[in-house]
Structure 1
Amino acid sequence: MDTEANGVGLEWSNTGAVLMLVCTLIFYYWHQRPIHFPPGPRGFPLIGVLPYLGKYPERTMQIWSRKYGPVMSVRVGSEDWVVMGSQESIYQSFVKGGNVFSGRPFVKVANEVTESKGLAMIDFNPTWKTQRKFGNVTLRGFGVGKKSLEERIIEEVEAVKMNILSKEGKPFDITDILSNAIMNVICNITAGQRFEYDDQFFIQIRRHLWFMDPDRTAAFSAMVFVPLLCHIPPYRKKYEQIKQDTKEMMGLFQQLVDQQRKTFDKNNLRDFIDAFILENENGTDESFTDRQLVHYVRELFKAGTETSTGTLRWAMLCLIHYPGAQEKIRKEIFDVLGNSTFPSMSDRNAMPYTSAFIQEVFRFRTLAPLGVPHKTTDTVNFANYIIPKGTTILSNLWAVHNDPTVWNNPRQFKPERHIDDKGKYIQSNHVIPFSVGPRHCLGEQLARMEIFIFLVSMVQKFEFLPDPNKTDLPELDDGVNGVAFVPYPFKLVAKEI
């Protein structure tokens, strides 16, 4: 009996030793980094730092960067990512080292719904370069950044004013009005037409813009960090909803493209779709396929609407929180434009406080706090570290916009910080909401034009007040954080001036 007991004990002892060895090896492997890799937190085996990120990963990462430096690593799942946490590190990597830092990692939830087409999720390769160049040239050709586009925006300004007036001074959520207007500007550029806001086709497109859904955007963000969640309830359901939404949107934009083809005239190009169809028919490049066109148009609509609408909603909320700022903007508008002249981008130099207010909104409420993930296209020696080829790179834009060494009391909303002692507006290279480098936002010029003209036009005609039926205004420091950081739904009152 003693011999048998000793044998069992020896067996358990050997098993325990093996388990201990396995755990030691796992622990050792887990804490290993590539040679000369940036330092950073490791978290737990298999899941990395994910339990520590919280609702606002960008804020957590800023805290970590104080310990590990502006170029640090984080273990996400089983991968080592690098986070650029300062303006200098982002500029040096994305601008100075643009060719090496402009890749795009495979992000399951994003690449599967886009089929790796469009523009945002294509890797840094000849196809991306061809499509990006086409986008830049074509958007400029149809007015982006030019006076001619202002007239199309002004047309939507009138529609916005009429819709606001229809509320008759009662509390309302301005989101649909703004997103309708932004979508119509994009539609004018891409498809050469605008829709009435009650048009069923238009309503169907808007229905698939889910950037305000807190649950779905949070789920999307989680699945970016942990692709395995796409197959695990309850995330799987959200994943399927996102794919279904994309499929339905693709069907709608396919209709738009098919309609354009029926009246296409290569001697009279009307819009972005026509220009793309011409490239397809000329056989200029094999990437100019019908599927690529539909994804491209969907991306312009979705990304363009979400970013500009989200920024304008933050601006409206700031106007309500800071009525003194709203009054300063209105005074400046009346001094420069009066109460009836339409604004133009050429008026910005004469409106320093308005320009400062908009830049402060960009800084204060960063719409894409961690930007869009990049990837190294080759092994690179950067900031005295060696970053291997294929490493995912995050840019902590929120940290740049809240850097206490640059901004005094960064968590405070203060437009005056962007005005010098002579009363002139200071455009800061430390405010980079559209990122920098080869992969900065394609629609940056359009977004800046929309935000300036819509905001000035609305403040010129209305005083925006809080909902009198609510005791507290929505907090500025909290919002829906997922695909983009946007305010929770809120209502306001628009008093005609």
Structure 2
Amino acid sequence: MEGEQWKTIRRFGLQSMRNLGVGKNELENKLIKDLENFIEKLKGELKTNITGEINLQKYIDRIVGSTINRLLFGYAFEDEQINEFYELKNIMDNELELLSSITGRMLLSMPRLRYLPVFSKTFKLLDDNIEKVFNYINRIVYERINKMKFGENEEPKDLLDYFLKQSEEAKNANWSEEKKENFDLKNLAPFSFDLFIAGQETTAKTLGFLVLYLLLDQRVQKKLHKELDNLREEKIINGFDAYFTMTDRTKLPYLNAVINETQRSANLLPINLAHRTMSDANILNKFNLKKGTPIVPQICCIFPHPYRFEPERFLDDQGMLKRVEQLIPFGIGKRICMGESLARMEIFLFASNFFSHFEVLPVDPLNPPSSEKRRGLTVAPIQYNCRLVVRNINN
């Protein structure tokens, strides 16, 4: 998608997300409440789990999925919807795995290959997965349409409400047919799918890597615990709630450095999304690129000692967070990730509050999990279990 259609849909998405509280206290409070429930449930499970061994990734997947689903459709994945989430997650995992295969990658760049026998099977599987997800979305859409009363002044509660309202207004608006087409209901499922998979996969995998890296580097984890404990104690003394909020972000430079180093090291998009040059360009006085040339940024090649996990590379001599322009986990330019502010909020709130309450250890210290990555359109940690220990802190 590009041109005016892309601009219209992106503008709509950004404005709707702002209206729903992304980057504001309202959404932050909901996220913190979700985290409180998540942490208490984990503590409850650990009381009956003698070894403390757990697959934390599935819990991370669910809490992140609930956040994006609440924005899209107004509800989190609780109790009766848990199976619904994992079924949806399995379909999306299968879709990403197919797209990362050789035939899937070739189909992405040359869709006409789907007519050839060797590619038709992969295309059919991809198409079947998309149809299942679209059926799930369309069921929610038409249930909502049947309940909505257009023309009333009730404020939209989620992105679905905003899209349906915009779609209804477009029918009588003095817009071009092309602009009206953007808000046709047939575009709602693809729009929702893109937001869900982008919001779920990248944030959940980043948090999975963060837990893994701190499990493997106890020095970093202990240093982080110390910073969190100091600020937590200060908050309690001054009469504030013990849970961390976004207002604490500037007071936790080491945590921010850990998050930055996780994003750098995980490098979720090792071969970044393809872009094209908007004008003639010269790179390093060696390469002349004509306007319209497809380019793929190789951001993993920028940092020295790339295989070392060193949060300190993001700190100055006084231990304060420093700006490193080479770190661009959300992209740059007009196509910078639309959900950047939401993702930053989720990652910070999870990391600060989770590690305040828990210590993460390898199940077998002599045989810790591998830091190798599962390759695909985005990379992921190799599946691992960890041992969780509830930290002895004052509530």
Distance (Å, rounded) in 2 between the aligned partners of 1:281 and 1:474: 52
After superposition, residues 362-373 of structure 1 pair within 5 angstroms as 362-373=263-274
Letter in 1 for 2:153: N
Amino acid at match of 1:201: E
Is it true that 1:356 corresponds to 2:239 in the alignment? Answer: no
Is 2:388 the partner of 1:494? Answer: yes
Q: Distance in 2 between matches of 1:270 and 1:386?
A: 49
SS of alignment partner, residue 387 of structure 2: strand
TM-score between the two structures when normalised by the length of structure 2? 0.85
For the residues of structure 1 that align with 2:242 and 2:95, how far apart are their CA atoms?
A: 33
For the 8 Å contact 1:397–1:435, the answer to whether it is kept is: no
Structure 2: how far apart are the matches of 1:355 and 1:315?
12
Pick closer, same or farther for the CA change 1:413–1:155 going to 2, 3 Å: same
Cα pair 1:170 1:493 within 8 Å, conserved: yes
Q: Which has the larger radius of gyration?
A: 1
SS in 2 for 1:465: strand
Output the CA distance in 1 between the equivalents of 2:330 and 2:198: 12
Asked if the contact 1:172–1:492 (Cα under 8 Å) also holds between the matched residues in 2, the reply is yes
Residue aligning to 1:240: 124
Aligned residues: 366
Contact 2:96 2:377 in 1 (8 A): no
Q: Residue 142 of structure 1: which of 16, 20, 29 is its match?
A: 20
Q: Equivalents in 2 of 1:198, 1:323: separation in Å?
A: 37
Q: Offset of 1:361 from its aligned partner?
A: 0.5
Asked whether 1:176 is paired with 2:58, we answer yes
Contact conserved, 1:480 with 1:486, CA < 8 A, in 2?
yes
Q: Distance in 2 between matches of 1:145 and 1:172?
A: 32
Q: How does 1:24-63 map to 2 (within 5 A)?
A: none
Q: Distance in 2 between matches of 1:279 and 1:149?
A: 22
In structure 2, which of residues 214, 219, 222 is the aligned counterpart of residue 324 of structure 1? 219
Q: Secondary structure at the match of 1:372?
A: coil
Q: Secondary structure at the match of 1:210?
A: helix
1:202 to 66, 77, 85: 85
Q: Deviations over 1:371-419 (max 9, x none)?
A: 2111345x5244465534543221112223x3x3xxxx23211011111
Whether 1:281 and 2:168 are equivalent positions in the alignment is yes
1:398 partnered with 2:295: no
Match of 2:253, as an amino acid?
P
In 2: Cα distance, 1:141 partner to 1:465 partner = 40
Distance verdict in 2 for CA 1:177–1:276, change over 3 Å = same
Query: What stretches of structure 2 of length at least 5 have no aligned partner?
Result: 174-178
1:299 pairs with 2:181: no
In structure 2, the residue matched to 1:131 is 9
Report the more deviating stretch, 250-259 or 152-161.
Answer: 152-161
Structure 1 pair 215–292 and aligned structure 2 pair: CA distance change class (3 A):
closer
The answer to whether the 8 A contact 1:211-1:484 is kept is no
2:193 and 2:98 mapped to 1: Cα distance?
A: 22
Q: Is the 8 A contact 1:397 1:433 kept in 2?
A: no
Q: Which moved more, 1:165-174 or 1:451-460?
A: 165-174
Letter in 1 for 2:280: V
Structure 1 length-normalised TM: 0.68
- What SS class does the counterpart of residue 333 from structure 2 fall into? coil
Residue pair 2:95, 2:126 contacting (<8 A) in 1 also? no
Q: Distance in 1 between matches of 2:42 and 2:188?
A: 35
The answer (yes or no) to whether the contact 1:376–1:390 under 8 Å persists in 2 is yes
Measure the CA separation in 2 of the matches of 1:198 and 1:231: 41
Which secondary structure state, in structure 2, belongs to the residue aligned with residue 262 of structure 1? helix
Candidates 153, 159, 176, aligned match of 1:272 = 159
Could you tell me how far apart the structure 2 residues matched to 1:303 and 1:237 are? 25
CA RMSD of aligned residues (A): 2.5
Describe the shift of the 1:126–1:227 C-alpha distance in structure 2 as closer, same or farther (beyond 3 A): closer
CA distance in 2: counterparts of 1:183 and 1:244, whole angstroms: 22
Displacement of 1:201: 3.0
How far apart are 1:211 and its partner, in Å? 6.7
What secondary structure does 1:494 align onto?
A: strand
What residue number does 2:210 align with?
Answer: 315
1:485 to 371, 379, 391: 379
Whichever residue aligns with residue 294 of structure 2, its letter is T
Contact 2:216–2:368 (Cα < 8 Å) also in 1 = yes
1:442 maps to 338
Aligned to 1:424: 320
Partners of 1:212 and 1:293 lie apart in 2 by 19
Q: 2:71 aligns with which of 173, 189, 201?
A: 189
Partner of 1:259: 143
Residue correspondence of structure 1 range 12-91 to structure 2 within 5 A: none
Could you tell me whether the CA contact under 8 Å between 1:171 and 1:491 is conserved in 2?
yes
Residue 341 of structure 1, CA deviation: 1.3
Shift of 1:481: 1.5
Letter in 1 for 2:63: A
Distance 1:341 1:230, change over 3 A: farther
What is the CA–CA distance in structure 2 between the aligned matches of 1:352 and 1:437, rounded to whole Å?
26
Does the 8 Å contact 1:368/1:485 carry over to 2? yes
SS of residue matched to 2:320: coil
- Asked if 1:380 corresponds to 2:280, the answer is yes
- Superposed CA offset, 1:117-154 (max 9, x none): xxxxx12x111111111111111111111121111211
| Contact 1:314/1:361, CA 8 A, preserved across alignment | yes
Give the superposition deviation at 1:241.
2.0
Distance verdict in 2 for CA 1:480–1:226, change over 3 Å: farther
Task: Tell me the alpha carbon deviations over residues 255-280 of structure 1, each in whole angstroms, 9 at most, x when there is no partner.
Answer: 12222223335522111111111111
**1:185 partner SS:** helix
Given residue 210 of structure 1, which amino acid in structure 2 is its aligned partner? D
CA contact (8 A) 1:152 1:188 kept: no
* Pair 1:236–1:337, CA change in 2 (3 A): farther
- Could you tell me which amino acid in structure 2 is paired with residue 337 of structure 1? R
Q: Report if aligned partners of 2:280, 2:289 keep a CA contact under 8 Å in 1.
A: yes
Q: Which amino acid aligns with 1:343?
A: F
Counterpart-to-counterpart distance in 1, 2:64 and 2:130: 20
The 8 Å contact of residues 217 and 480 in structure 1, kept in 2 or not, is answered as no
- Residue 249 of structure 1 corresponds to 133
- SS of aligned partner of 1:427: coil
Give the helix-richer structure, 1 or 2.
2
In structure 1, what is the equivalent of residue 176 of structure 2? none
